[in-house]
Amino acid sequence: MANQNAVVVGGGVCGLVASLLLRKRGYDVVLLEQASQLGGLFCSIKDSSGAAYDMGSHIPNATGIQELDEILFKNADDATTWNRISKLCSGNYFAGDWDLSSPFPDARKLPNDLYSQGCGELIGLNQIPQSEFIYQYCLESLGVVFTESIVAPILRKLYGKGVDLAGLTMEAGLFGFTRILALPADVTASLKSLPAFDSKLGYQTEQDFLRRKKQDNLQDVEYFYPVNGQGIGHWVAELQQQVEQAGIEIITSEMVSKICHTGQKVTSLELGSNRVLACDLLFWSAPPFIALNAMGLTPKRGKVELRTAVIYHINFDKPLLDTKSHYLWVWDDKTDIFRLTLYPNLNQQSTHNHLSAEILCAADEVSEYSLERIIDELKAMHVVADDAQVISHEQQAINNTFPVPTQEFKQLNQANYELLNASVDNLIISGRYSGRCWRQAEVLVDAFESINKL
């Protein structure tokens, strides 16, 4: 009997891995990507000096699922390809100062009167808030003073000065700043035995954190970064090679124009080039509204605000001053940058002194940023020496890639996901666009579990 045909739409890591899993389960698979190359948000570029930079997502981690991890990091033991990172080092810049031992903003850097007032409030709030909205949640968890002086400025920096703070859902805090450092380290360590304090305070010493990790029996998460100078694009290249070796057809620079279905079953897909793909199973990792349109159904529409990611990739003539951190959060509201990636710390074999600085803004604000402005910020934060010169650089803007997380956005996503899901039976909706998961490992585990339910 002939194999069943599966079409995987979207050639990001979700689609790449899904196509391999489906092939392993006996399907003849076609992988369809609208862009000219695979990888989605995981891709790298090189500047004129040959320094490689990643576009936004860059430090993948193992999932703990053997079948999946064997696909993801096939040559994991090859030290000429991979740096295996057992502890991801991240610090943060807040109130004009670095803390390279914790990603959480430190309330003790606030003016004394604010700090004392904030601590008084924080101590008295001993219930876990139930709100789905981040601002209200923080008011009930951290109190007014810390919410106004720490969280609100970060939210405005990420989601825009005019953002309606009260309308942002908890997803707005996915970078982790709803937990802060406050109070003496030993007081924090004992308060964290209470759930309401555990969720709002970060440990201040590594020993405290490790003790807790052991107590909770938390497994180590292993991260991977290529050391062959190709950036994370190498990961995608390896996955693509596996896809090709598995006999999966890859079609790039093409889109679905029509999804043909009989009753509850997708039967074929028509492409822009008029080619028709037979389809017994459709794995969809592109935005659901595109599938609904292609099926002749009307997607639910609404106001969705999207942020553009602007990334400055810069290679200096002098070593970066932080030789430990893999990436850094910049919570200080006087800087535009919100995250830095320090490549020499991810790849010790690197011969470059290069970093990526990420900014989130509205699409029409991109021109407000300049290389000079970013270099000034980096020097003011002592990320590079005052006399460091730029050897080479690149700049990217990923337009409208990051949704402002509002209830309306969540409901819209949910409605389109449900409408699509209910329309046909031989369909899997997965990937970051499904709205059910966002981080790389979550996305891949979701795809794996969906395919295993077949």
Ligand X SMILES: Cc1cc2nc3c(=O)[nH]c(=O)nc-3n(C[C@H](O)[C@H](O)[C@H](O)COP(=O)(O)OP(=O)(O)OC[C@H]3O[C@@H](n4cnc5c(N)ncnc54)[C@H](O)[C@@H]3O)c2cc1C
Residue numbers of the site for ligand X (CB under 6 A)?
A: 9-15, 32-35, 40-42, 56-57, 255, 285-287, 290, 309, 401-402, 431-432, 438-440, 443
Nearest approach in angstroms of CB 254 to ligand X is 7
Nearest approach in angstroms of CB 116 to ligand X is 35
Helix locations, 51-111, DSSP H: 66-72
Nearer to ligand X, 55 or 119 (CB): 55
Residue 452: CA count within 13 A, CB half-sphere = 9
Closest CA to 264 of 420, 387, 109, 122: 420
Nearest approach in angstroms of CB 227 to ligand X is 19
Helix locations, 79-205, DSSP H: 112-124, 134-141, 144-146, 152-159, 185-191, 195-198
Nearer to ligand X, 42 or 133 (CB): 42
CB of 94 within 8 A of CB of 331?
yes
Q: Measured between alpha carbons, how far is 384 from 372 in angstroms, rounded to an integer?
A: 14
Q: Measured between alpha carbons, how far is 379 from 402 in angstroms, rounded to an integer?
A: 28
Nearest approach in angstroms of CB 290 to ligand X is 4
Nearer to ligand X, 174 or 278 (CB): 174
Closest CA to 439 of 21, 39, 33, 59: 59
Nearest approach in angstroms of CB 431 to ligand X is 3
Nearest approach in angstroms of CB 255 to ligand X is 5
Q: Is 63 helix (H, G, I), strand (E, B) or coil?
A: coil
Closest CA to 226 of 216, 237, 218: 237
Query: Tokens 């309606």 belong to which residue?
Result: 164
Nearer to ligand X, 81 or 440 (CB): 440
Nearer to ligand X, 415 or 437 (CB): 437
Nearer to ligand X, 25 or 436 (CB): 436
Nearer to ligand X, 201 or 310 (CB): 310
Closest CA to 427 of 321, 291, 258: 291
CB of 404 within 8 A of CB of 163?
yes
Nearest approach in angstroms of CB 416 to ligand X is 14
